[in-house]
Chain A
Amino acid sequence: MINIENLIKRVDTSEGELVILKGVSLTVNDAETVAIVGASGSGKSTLLGLMAGLDAASSGEVILGGQRLSELDEEQRAVLRGQLVGFVFQSFQLLPSLTALENVMLPIELKNDPNAREKASLLLDRVGLGERRHHYPNQLSGGEQQRVAIARAFASEAQILFADEPTGNLDSATGAKIIELLFSLNKEYSTTLVLVTHDERLARKCHRTIRLVAGEIVSDETNAETSEDAISAGTAHDD
């Protein structure tokens, strides 16, 4: 599903060129859940951004859904994101001017789906916010906002879900609930999940854990406790 070949990202700073990713290569299979872990500044979020087509690499290649991102401009990458990708962010990134329902409707509406309202309502019911669908983000708690964000991510019918520190802004109890919801939906819809996190416990819930240090992959381990799930999920999807 996602192939990364020798990915390099350089940026210019006032102190000269900085190489954030130093030739990263990896493959993420369909329906697989992958955690990317590492210290701050190790290049996790940059890698996530490049994998999701939010940014262009300096060199190397990302193949997303069979499409080489280097061959696409930003416009085409946007279309691809709309078709394939969903996001959950640490800071929720809900549109403050839209209600919970409208936020979830947005990606469905962007596809000109006439049933956007019904689909979004169902998803909000699914994440337990049916009663608060007409609330604006600033009227919701952090956990509730993240649940709306998860509903929005699944509303786009994404095949790949990228999550950047989804529990980073939440207390541990709320975070645990969010993770439960995320993984439950992910399993339900056989979505590929790529997760950036500091949280080792969260990482262990994924099939694989990729560890980044200073822009390089230092380990890529399969988590024993979830490997069975991975195999069954992959098989289910292949079917």
Chain B
Amino acid sequence: MRPMQKHLKTRFLRVLHMTTDVQTVDNTAAAARPRVQAQAMTLSTLLRLAVRLLWRDWQGGELRLLFLALIMAVTSVTGIALFTDRLEQALLAESANMLAADRVLSGRDEAPSEWIEEARNRNLSTAETMSFGSMVFSDEGNVLVSAKAVSSEYPLRGKLIVAERAFGAGAPIDGGPAPGEVWVESRVLPALSADIGDILYVGNAQLRVTRVIIQEPDRQQGGMMDNAGPRLMLNTADVPATEVIQVGSRVSYRYLFAGASQDLAEYEQWLDERTNGEFRLRDVRDESAEVADALNKAESFLMLGSLFAVLLAGVAIALTARRYAERHFDYVAILKTLGCTSGQIMSLYMSIQVVLVIVAIIVGSFLGWGIHALILQALQAVISVNLPPAGFTPYIIGSMTAIICLLSFALPPLLALRKTSPLRVLRKDLDDNTLGAKLPYGIGLLGSLVLILWYSQDVLLTSILVLAVFGVVLVLAGISWLLLRSSNSVGMKAGSAWKLAMSATRRRRKQNILQVLVFSLTIMSLLILALLRTDLIRDWQAQLPANTPNHFLMNVTEPQVSGIEAFFRENGVEPNQFFPMMSAGVTRINGETPILRRSDEEEQSNLTERSAGTEQAAEQTESEGEEERPRTVSNRQVTWTNRLPIDNQIVEGQWWGDDAQPGFVSLEDDYAERLGAKIGDVMEFDVGQGRLMEATVQSLRTVRWDNMQPNFFIIFSPGSLEGLGGTYLSTALMEQEQKALINGLLQQFPTIVVIEIDALIEQIQNIIAQVTSAIELIAFLVLACGALVLLACVTATLDERFRENAILRTLGAGRRLILSSLFIEFASIGLIAGVIATVGAETSLYYLQTQVFAQDFNLHYWVWLAGPIIGMVVIATLGVMATRRVVNTSPLTVLRHIG
């Protein structure tokens, strides 16, 4: 032995004996068997090994997709949660401006002062307003105004925008007019030939005009008749001096409340108990059906988008974790031969997952914050309120998503690793089915269900989503059953690209079915969101197109119609249809007294009915305390015309058109159903002062109630009600710069009433613009998640494709043959996935649109062609891009790399 070797040996033996606790086995006696007890790996050994494994896997790229999927899950969910959280607050704040408060209590009588006192005791801010119609005089003229007295705290939310001169540029101001002052809308001043600083006479009070109101947050709230005429605002302290409010005067009292949600909720409960539910605080959703509808749909869409993001991120995690686990079979087998127990292996992989999830949560939370900030930046133009800072909840939601996704999707395949047989070091073909166990998928599905339910708290939405996924799985189970029935050997069939691709598809049918499942779910999610987004935005745009009239003209007499039309034409305003209008009530249908069945839809927002004032009041009185009972039919505002109004569609019978004969009536579809009226029924109406008339039902119509147009439950054929009196109703679109025309109009036709809803329309359009932008961005985020899933799924089967194609190349297959075969294989998978996704998307959309989004469902014919083509092209492109390396790398390198 050479000296160096001797030295080494001595040193080695010395080191070997440095440890005294090495267990040795006495070979002479069976009694001295080694203690078969696992020695726990120390934490530092475990962590060191975990970190090394993590680092090398990261460098080797094996962890990147899993890590990316985790980060994507945290980023998308945190980002969306942050965004929706703050957006919802912004939308509610914006909407609260429409009320000038968070909650409103309104009525025709004053509320007991102890109610208001109680609210103040509960830390709520309060303010009150009184609205009434009144003539106001100046030294040179007079005008009918919609007067509104406000307390000094008004408005609680939003701001009045005022100017120093009529039609001037406005600036926000805190509070309302001080006692002794009045503020008026621009057109009041020219109508009275008055100016800022002049004295106006409101009843017996003399008040000085100090400002011009340009914008008032809750301008459209209250009855339409309360808002007829331009606004004059005064302080409540001056009301007694005016002496305009007498017993029997028509006054709208509104009590405004603002404060923390919890305080508001507790106060609502207190009030509810005090009044047996007779008086209820209303929020913006109660007050504006249009805004409520937009908000509700936007929330549902954002939620759906988030759910898809969670689901897709989960699928991406499951796929990448599975591949990661598959690549660690050998690793675990070696560790086991070295004496690692299952428990130690579990600890090792658990610690890797813990490190991974912690890093993903930190990175994802930052990215999520960044994404939401970017979205908000993009929306800066449309979000006009200051957003409150986000809470911690979105970060918790994002973190929980990562943890639950990892627990349910990634951990099962990783835990399955511990069952790897150490014999795999000798026989590589073993244990490939360890991950095929059903349990991990069951855990994954259960985990995702819990996650979705916890996240959405919406059973209906979750059920539709789960059923859609279940449907796709069921279809695929059928396909796989059919494919697996013919389990004879397939072979390579390497003669042509087609044959090669088809044989590859069948040979890898289990993998391919999994891929089709993932591709189908991903494409389905993206199709659902894309189609829903398009339909929602289209509906909203159709609801309030740019040319929506923003003024209602009421109380117009027949001789005034042509004069008003001429006035508009002279001043560049397009006159709209004039609807004759009168009050009528159904007394009999086919000789029987009708009973109206209650329906929520009866509460539909209807400007025509609202503007009639008494109609709504009558309905409310009837409904109080007897919600479950059928009710007698009350009067409706009816019209007669030979032109079918805008957004009305005949669903049964025929519209009479220009050849109309008197004695026919057309009913709104739902109203007819609740009345029990059908085509051909003879209805008897009380048209006022005990006069009765009969008409036959000729058609049933659907009506779009939220289009801000005159809408009617009952329309008679022309001639039916002629000679019975009534007034006319019309609409007009007048831009801001044309508003002074109203003065001229009212001067020329002093008896008509002009109701201005331009502020309301602008507010609704603004909110809809915000939710539209939000929807676009969420759809984009989900698209990014979808792309990741597709990539993860393509990558999941890369190893086998690499190996097969490397072998084919060594056997002389050309680059073109392999690429063509890969393209065909992926394209076929994409095509099948596209077809299944399209069917799944359309079916889900049917339920989503009819049950959740209250929309009409129509088949999207183009998608039936586009879905499969998109599936085919996207999957084929992604697949070939991911696998083309196989033809650009030497087969030896590929084989050596994969092993």
Q: Does B381 contact A (CB under 8 A)?
A: no
Selected interface stretch from B53-61, B89-97, B673-681, B683-691: B53-61
A side interface size, CB within 8 A: 55
- Could you tell me which residues of chain B, from 19 to 42, have a CB within 8 Å of some CB in chain A? 19, 22-23, 25-27, 29-30, 32-34, 36-42
Q: Decide: B423 and A49 in contact? CB cutoff 8 A.
A: yes
Q: Decide: B45 and A109 in contact? CB cutoff 8 A.
A: yes
Q: Decide: A102 and B52 in contact? CB cutoff 8 A.
A: yes
Which residues of chain A come closer than 8 Å to B899, judged between CB atoms?
Answer: 91
Known: A65-B25, A82-B339, A97-B53. A126 touches B9 (CB 8 A): yes
Q: Decide: A78 and B22 in contact? CB cutoff 8 A.
A: no
Q: Does B16 contact A (CB under 8 A)?
A: yes
Q: Decide: B422 and A54 in contact? CB cutoff 8 A.
A: yes
Which residues of chain B come closer than 8 Å to A126, judged between CB atoms?
Answer: 8-9, 12
Q: Decide: A122 and B425 in contact? CB cutoff 8 A.
A: no
- Could you tell me which residues of chain A, from 103 to 162, have a CB within 8 Å of some CB in chain B? 106-107, 109-115, 118-119, 122-123, 125-126, 152, 156-157, 159
A130 to nearest B CB, angstroms? 9
- Could you tell me which residues of chain B, from 192 to 220, have a CB within 8 Å of some CB in chain A? none
Q: Decide: B15 and A115 in contact? CB cutoff 8 A.
A: yes
Question: Which among A54, A78, A81, A85 has the greatest number of chain B C-beta atoms within 10 A?
Answer: A78
Which residues of chain A come closer than 8 Å to B423, judged between CB atoms?
Answer: 49, 54-55
Partner among B25, B32, B45, B331 whose Cβ is within 8 Å of the Cβ of A95: B331
Q: Does B293 contact A (CB under 8 A)?
A: no
Q: Decide: A89 and B41 in contact? CB cutoff 8 A.
A: no
Which residues of chain A come closer than 8 Å to B18, judged between CB atoms?
Answer: 115
What mask results when residues 37 to 75 of chain A are scored 1 for a CB within 8 Å of chain B, else 0? Answer: 000000001001100101100000000011100001011
CA distance A85 to B339 in the complex (A): 9
Q: Decide: B27 and A1 in contact? CB cutoff 8 A.
A: yes
Which residues of chain A come closer than 8 Å to B221, judged between CB atoms?
Answer: none
Q: Decide: B339 and A93 in contact? CB cutoff 8 A.
A: no
A191 to nearest B CB, angstroms? 12
Q: Decide: B425 and A78 in contact? CB cutoff 8 A.
A: no
B side interface size, CB within 8 A: 55
Q: Decide: B56 and A97 in contact? CB cutoff 8 A.
A: yes
CA distance A66 to B423 in the complex (A): 22
Which residues of chain B come closer than 8 Å to A118, judged between CB atoms?
Answer: 15
Which residues of chain B come closer than 8 Å to A67, judged between CB atoms?
Answer: 33-34, 36
CA distance A102 to B49 in the complex (A): 9
Known: A54-B421, A110-B339. A79 touches B45 (CB 8 A): no
Q: Decide: B341 and A83 in contact? CB cutoff 8 A.
A: no
- Could you tell me which residues of chain B, from 319 to 352, have a CB within 8 Å of some CB in chain A? 330-331, 333-344
Nearest neighbor of B45 in chain A, beta-carbon distance: A109
CA distance A20 to B515 in the complex (A): 37
CA distance A171 to B413 in the complex (A): 38
CA distance A80 to B422 in the complex (A): 13
Q: Decide: A80 and B34 in contact? CB cutoff 8 A.
A: yes
Which residues of chain B come closer than 8 Å to A54, judged between CB atoms?
Answer: 337, 421-423, 425-426
Which residues of chain A come closer than 8 Å to B19, judged between CB atoms?
Answer: 113-115
Question: Which among A82, A87, A93, A237 has the greatest number of chain B C-beta atoms within 10 A?
Answer: A82
Q: Does A30 contact B (CB under 8 A)?
A: yes
A126 to nearest B CB, angstroms? 6
Q: Does B11 contact A (CB under 8 A)?
A: yes
Beyond A66-B33, A75-B341, A79-B339: 12 further Cβ-contacts under 8 Å? A52-B337, A55-B422, A72-B36, A79-B38, A80-B339, A87-B425, A93-B330, A110-B39, A110-B340, A115-B15, A118-B15, A157-B16
Would you give 11 A-B contacts (Cβ < 8 Å), ordered by A? A30-B27, A45-B427, A49-B427, A74-B342, A80-B36, A80-B339, A82-B339, A84-B34, A106-B338, A107-B338, A122-B11
Residues of A within 8 A of B (CB): 1, 30, 45, 48-49, 52, 54-55, 65-67, 72, 74-76, 78-85, 87, 89, 91, 93-98, 102, 106-107, 109-115, 118-119, 122-123, 125-126, 152, 156-157, 159, 164, 188, 237
